[in-house]
C-alpha cells in the first residue's frame, strides 16, 4: 500500500519515528532492511527452531525406545509431536529456504536488494514473532496437541478446551502473513530487478526454483489462512464450520489443509532442488545438464503439486474414482522429479568432481531423496496406502524427503555459502567428520521406521505393546538419535569455530558459476561496486572463462552508467518491526478474548501502516570506491 513516495532524503515524514542510521547494535538489527542481514536472521532463527524441534524429537524417541514406557504423559507426548512437526515445517525448514532466497536471489540476479526492503523486514519479523507466539504456549497452559495438521473436530472448543489449539491457529495465521508477503516481494524482485543481459533463461536455477516456490506460496497459503480463520471463528464466536452436530464436515478441514499442505512440501523442496542445482555444477566444474528441462520440470512439479492433495486422504472414504485420480496425479509428479535426478547425474558425468563438504551433502541428498521418492510412489497407491497411512511408514517417508532431502540440501547450501556470508572458511575435515555422524545417525533413525510401520505401528502413539515385533525397530531408531545428535553438535561447533577463527575466505573460493561469487566475501552493503552485466547463463563463469561459454560481448550495455548519482540503497525503518510486534501482541488479545487489547493493537497496526507509507521509500546514495576497481569482480 504505497501512498508515500521516494524521499529525497531520510525525512522523518509523519513525525512518528525517525529512520535510524546506525549499522551496529540491536537497533540496527531491529530496523535493518538489508536482504543479507535479514537472510542471516532467517537462517539463525530457523536453526534455533530446528534445535528446539530436535529436542522435542529426542524426547519422543526416548519415550518410544522400549514398549510401555511412561517417561512422559500422553498429554505431553501429544504436545511434543505436534510442536515437532509444526516447528520443523513452518519454523525451521521453510524459513531456511526463505533465508537463502533472501540472501542470494538479489546477488544472483545482480540486484542490490529486494524490490520492497521494508516489506522484506516485516516478513521476517512476523515469522519470528509468530514462531515465538506458538512457543509461549508451553508456558501458557500447554502447547497445541492435535498433530501438526490439527484435524477437525479434534480442534473444536469442546474437544480441545484450553489455549493450545488457539496458539496453533493464531500463531500460524500470523506467521503465514510473513510468508505471503515475502513471496510477493521475491516475485517482483525476480521479474523486475534482474541485471542487464540477464534474461529469464539466463537466471540461475536456484532463482527459478524460488520463483516457482513463491507462486506456490501465493496460491497455497490462502486456503490455509481461511481454514485457520474458520477454526478461530468456531472457537471464539461459536460458528459452526467444523461442528458435526450442526452439519459441519470435518473432511472440509482436511481438504483445505492439504490443498495448502501438499504444495507446502514442494515449497520446501523446490528451493532445496535449487541449491543442489547450484552445488553440483560448481563441484563438477560443468554446467547444469539440461537447464531448460530442469526449469520446466520445476514448474511442472509446482503445478502438479496442486493436483495431488487428496493422496493424504486416501483412507477417508473419498471413493475409488477420486482415489484413482489422485493416485495417478501423484504418480505423474514423480516423473519430473526423476528427470531432475537424471540431470544432476548428467551434470556430474564427464566432470571433475571435488568432494568438498557441500558436494558430499548434495550426494547424500541424492541418495536419500531417491529412497524417499520411492516410498512416496508406494504411498501413492491407495490400496497400499490403506495399510501404510498414519503409520511409521509414512513418518519414515516424509523424513527421508524432508530431512534427507530438504535438510541435507540446505546444509549443502549452508556450507557452500558460508564463506560468502561470513568471509571465513570452515574446516573441511571437521565438517566431513560431522557429516558422517549426521548421515549415519539419520539413516539409523529413519530406515527402521519403515519396518515399524509395516509391522503395524500407527503414528502419534506414545507407547506400543510388546509382542508385536516393534521393539527392535524402535530401539535402533532411538539409538540413531544419539549418533545424529553428536553430528548436529559437531556441525554447530564447526560453524561457530569457523565464524570466530576460520581462515579468511576469498571472493570465489569454489571457482563457482553465479554472480554472488563475483563480489567480496561478505559482500558490501550495496552488493556490487559496479552493476554486473550478464552475458550468458552462469554469468560469473562466463565472465571468468569467456572462451568456455557462449557469451555475448555485453555490447548492448556498453557506456550506460547504471548508477549515475550513486547507488541508491534503501533506508532502515522501525515500522516493519513495530507492525509485527503489534500483530504479535494483538494475537494474545484475540487468544484471551481481550478485545480492548486486540483493538488497541489493531489501531497500532493502522497507525504503523500510515507511518510506513508517509515515511516514504527514503534511502541514501552510496559511492563506492569503484573507480579504483575497474572491472571489479573479474
Partner 1 sequence: MAGQAPSVGAPAPAQSHGWRSSTLPDTKLLMWIFLASDVMFFGTLIGTYLIYKGRSIVGPYPLDVLDIPLTTVSTFVLLMSSFLMVIALHALRQGNIPGFRLWTFGVAFFGAIFLGFQVYEFRHFVELGLTLDRNLFGTTFFVLTGTHGVHVAIGVLWLLSIVVASYVRPQHWQAKDATYLEVAGLYWHFVDIVWIVIFTLVYLVDFI
Partner 2 sequence: MPMTQWLRRAAFLVGGMLLLGGCEFTGLQSTLDPAGPIAQAQHDLLIWSYQLSWIVMIATFGVMAYVLIRFRRRRDDPDRIPAQFHGSAPLEIGLTIVPVLIVIAVAVPTVRTIFATETRVTPEAGDVIVNVTGYQWWWRFEYPELGVVTANELHIPAGRRVILNLDSADVLHSFWVPRLAGKRDLIPNQNNQLWIEAPDPGTYYGQCAELCLGAHAYMKFRVIAESDAEFEAWADSFQTVDSRAVQADPDVQQGYQLFATKGCTNCHTVQGYRDGSSVGTPDFPNLTNFGLRTTLAAGIVPNDRENLEAWLRDPQAVKPGNYMPALWQEDDPNADEEIAAIASYLLSLGAQSGPEAQASLGGSHGDR
Please, what is the minimum distance in Å from the beta carbon of residue 272 to partner 2? 18
Rounded distance between C-alpha atoms, residue 527 and residue 277, angstroms: 23
**Ranges within 385-404 binding partner 2 (CB under 8 A):** 385-391
Nearer to partner 1 by Cβ, of 139 and 237: the residue is 237
CB atoms inside a 10 Å sphere around CB 132: 16
| Residue 476 touches which of partner 2, partner 1, none (Cβ within 5-8 Å per kind) | none
> Which residues partner with 424 through β-bridges?
504
Nearer to partner 1 by Cβ, of 213 and 284: the residue is 213
| Residue 5 touches which of partner 1, partner 2, none (Cβ within 5-8 Å per kind) | partner 1
3-state secondary structure string across 526-541: CCCCCCCCCCCCCHHH
**Is 447 near partner 2 (CB under 8 A)?**
yes
Nearest to 88 by CA among 354, 287, 272, 268: 268
| Residue 627 touches which of partner 2, partner 1, none (Cβ within 5-8 Å per kind) | none
Please, what is the minimum distance in Å from the beta carbon of residue 305 to partner 1? 14
Cα 606 from chain centroid (whole Å): 29
Nearest to 254 by CA among 305, 321, 318: 318
Nearer to partner 2 by Cβ, of 403 and 523: the residue is 403
**Is 192 near partner 2 (CB under 8 A)?**
no
| Residue 226 touches which of partner 1, partner 2, none (Cβ within 5-8 Å per kind) | partner 1
- Of the candidate spans 1-9, 151-159, 173-181, 624-632, the one that interacts with partner 2 by CB under 8 A turns out to be 151-159
Q: Of these, 348, 411, 484, 539, which contacts partner 2 (CB under 8 A)?
A: 348
- Which 8-state DSSP code applies to residue 504? B
Please, what is the minimum distance in Å from the beta carbon of residue 559 to partner 1? 13
- Which 8-state DSSP code applies to residue 391? B
Q: Which residues contact 242 (CB under 8 A, 6 or more apart)?
A: 152, 153, 155, 156, 230, 231, 234, 248, 249, 250, 252, 253
**Is 249 near partner 2 (CB under 8 A)?**
yes
**Residue 519 contacts residue 527 (beta carbons within 8 Å):** yes
Q: Of these, 208, 257, 291, 400, which contacts partner 2 (CB under 8 A)?
A: 291
| Residue 485 touches which of partner 2, partner 1, none (Cβ within 5-8 Å per kind) | none
**Is 189 near partner 2 (CB under 8 A)?**
no
| Residue 233 touches which of partner 2, partner 1, none (Cβ within 5-8 Å per kind) | partner 1
Would you tell me which residues interact with partner 1 (CB under 8 A)? 1-6, 111-112, 115-116, 180, 183-185, 187-188, 191-199, 218-223, 225-227, 229-230, 233, 237-241, 246-249, 252, 256, 531, 535, 550-557, 560, 562-563, 567-568, 610, 613, 617, 619
**Is 153 near partner 2 (CB under 8 A)?**
yes
> Which residues partner with 621 through β-bridges?
568
For residues 69 to 108, the per-residue mask of contacts with partner 2, x marking binding by CB under 8 A and - elsewhere, is ----xxx--x------------------------------
| Residue 629 touches which of partner 2, partner 1, none (Cβ within 5-8 Å per kind) | none
Cα 293 from chain centroid (whole Å): 24
Please, what is the minimum distance in Å from the beta carbon of residue 323 to partner 2? 6
Please, what is the minimum distance in Å from the beta carbon of residue 554 to partner 1? 6
**Helix axes 74-86 and 35-64, enclosed angle (nearest 10):** 150
**Is 147 near partner 2 (CB under 8 A)?**
yes
Specify burial of residue 418 (Cβ count, 10 A radius: 0-12, 13-18, 19+). buried
3-state secondary structure (DSSP) of residue 427:
coil
Rounded distance between C-alpha atoms, residue 146 and residue 166, angstroms: 11
**Ranges within 352-381 binding partner 2 (CB under 8 A):** 352-355, 360, 363, 366-367, 370-371, 374, 377-378, 380-381
Rounded distance between C-alpha atoms, residue 361 and residue 414, angstroms: 10
CB atoms inside a 10 Å sphere around CB 269: 24
**Ranges within 519-548 binding partner 2 (CB under 8 A):** 545, 548
Cα 461 from chain centroid (whole Å): 28
**Ranges within 463-502 binding partner 2 (CB under 8 A):** 463-465, 467-469
Nearest to 510 by CA among 401, 362, 317, 610: 362
- Of the candidate spans 34-42, 285-293, 522-530, 551-559, the one that interacts with partner 2 by CB under 8 A turns out to be 285-293
**Residue 582 contacts residue 550 (beta carbons within 8 Å):** no
Amino acid at each position: 500500500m504505497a501512498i508515500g513516495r521516494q524521499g529525497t532524503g531520510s525525512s522523518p515524514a509523519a513525525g512518528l519515528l525517525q529512520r535510524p542510521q546506525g549499522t551496529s547494535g540491536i537497533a540496527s538489527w531491529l530496523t535493518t532492511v538489508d536482504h543479507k542481514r535479514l537472510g542471516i536472521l532467517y537462517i539463525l532463527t530457523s536453526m534455533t527452531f530446528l534445535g528446539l524441534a530436535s529436542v522435542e524429537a529426542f524426547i519422543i524417541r526416548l519415550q518410544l525406545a522400549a514398549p510401555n514406557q511412561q517417561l512422559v504423559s500422553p498429554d505431553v507426548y501429544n504436545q511434543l509431536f505436534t510442536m515437532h512437526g509444526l516447528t520443523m515445517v513452518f519454523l525451521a525448514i521453510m524459513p531456511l529456504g526463505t533465508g537463502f532466497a533472501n540472501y542470494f536471489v538479489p546477488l544472483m540476479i545482480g540486484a542490490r536488494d529486494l524490490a520492497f526492503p521494508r516489506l522484506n523486514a516485516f516478513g521476517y519479523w512476523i515469522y519470528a514473532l509468530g514462531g515465538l507466539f506458538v512457543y509461549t504456549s508451553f508456558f501458557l497452559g500447554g502447547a497445541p496437541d492435535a498433530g501438526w495438521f490439527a484435524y477437525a473436530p479434534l480442534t473444536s472448543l469442546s474437544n480441545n478446551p484450553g489455549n493450545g489449539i488457539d496458539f496453533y491457529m493464531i500463531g500460524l495465521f500470523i506467521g503465514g502473513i510473513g510468508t505471503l508477503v515475502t513471496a510477493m516481494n521475491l516475485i517482483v524482485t525476480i521479474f523486475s530487478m534482474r541485471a542487464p543481459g540477464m534474461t529469464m533463461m539466463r537466471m540461475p536455477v536456484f532463482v527459478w526454483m524460488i520463483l516457482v516456490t513463491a507462486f506456490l506460496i501465493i496460491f497455497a497459503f490462502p486456503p490455509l489462512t481461511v481454514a485457520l480463520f474458520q477454526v478461530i471463528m468456531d472457537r471464539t464466536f461459536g460458528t459452526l464450520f467444523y461442528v458435526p452436530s450442526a452439519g459441519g464436515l470435518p473432511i472440509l478441514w482436511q481438504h483445505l489443509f492439504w490443498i495448502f499442505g501438499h504444495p507446502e512440501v514442494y515449497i520446501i523442496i523446490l528451493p532445496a532442488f535449487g541449491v543442489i542445482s547450484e552445488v553440483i555444477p560448481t563441484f563438477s566444474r560443468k554446467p547444469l545438464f539440461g537447464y531448460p528441462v530442469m526449469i520446466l520440470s520445476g514448474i511442472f512439479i509446482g503445478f502438479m503439486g496442486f493436483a495431488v492433495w487428496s493422496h493424504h486422504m486416501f483412507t477417508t472414504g473419498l471413493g475409488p474414482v477420486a482415489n484413482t485420480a489422485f493416485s495417478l496425479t501423484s504418480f505423474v509428479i514423480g516423473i519430473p522429479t526423476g528427470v531432475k535426478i537424471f540431470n544432476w547425474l548428467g551434470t556430474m558425468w564427464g566432470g571433475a568432481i571435488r568432494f568438498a563438504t557441500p558436494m558430499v551433502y548434495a550426494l547424500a541428498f541424492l541418495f536419500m531423496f531417491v529412497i524417499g521418492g520411492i516410498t512416496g510412489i508406494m504411498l501413492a497407491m491407495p490400496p497400499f496406502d490403506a495399510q501404510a497411512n498414519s503409520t511409521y511408514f509414512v513418518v519414515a517417508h516424509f523424513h527421508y524427503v524432508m530431512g534427507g532431502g530438504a535438510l541435507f540440501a540446505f546444509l549443502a547450501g549452508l556450507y557452500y555459502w558460508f564463506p560468502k556470508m561470513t568471509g571465513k572458511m570452515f574446516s573441511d575435515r571437521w565438517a566431513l567428520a560431522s557429516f558422517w555422524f549426521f548421515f549415519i545417525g539419520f539413516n539409523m533413525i529413519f530406515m527402521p521406521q519403515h519396518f515399524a510401520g509395516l509391522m503395524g505401528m500407527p503414528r502419534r502413539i506414545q507407547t506400543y505393546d510388546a509382542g508385536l515385533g516393534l521393539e527392535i525397530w524402535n530401539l535402533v531408531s532411538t539409538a540413531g538419535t544419539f549418533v545424529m545428535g553428536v553430528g548436529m553438535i559437531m556441525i554447530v561447533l564447526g560453524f561457530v569455530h569457523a565464524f570466530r577463527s576460520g581462515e579468511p575466505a576469498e571472493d570465489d573460493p569454489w571457482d563457482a558459476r553465479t554472480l554472488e561469487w563475483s563480489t567480496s566475501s561478505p559482500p558490501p552493503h550495496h552488493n556490487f561496486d559496479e552493476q554486473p552485466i550478464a552475458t550468458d547463463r552462469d554469468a560469473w563463469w562466463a565472465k571468468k572463462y569467456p572462451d568456455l561459454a557462449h557469451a555475448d560481448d555485453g555490447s548492448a550495455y556498453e557506456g550506460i552508467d547504471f548508477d549515475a548519482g550513486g547507488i541508491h540503497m534503501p533506508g532502515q525503518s522501525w515500522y516493519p518491526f513495530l507492525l509485527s510486534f503489534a500483530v504479535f501482541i494483538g494475537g494474545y488479545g484475540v487468544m484471551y478474548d481481550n478485545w480492548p487489547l486486540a483493538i488497541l493493537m489493531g489501531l497500532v497496526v493502522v497507525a504503523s501502516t500510515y507511518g510506513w507509507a508517509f515515511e516514504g521509500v527514503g534511502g541514501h546514495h552510496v559511492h563506492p570506491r569503484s573507480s579504483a576497481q575497474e572491472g571489479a569482480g573479474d
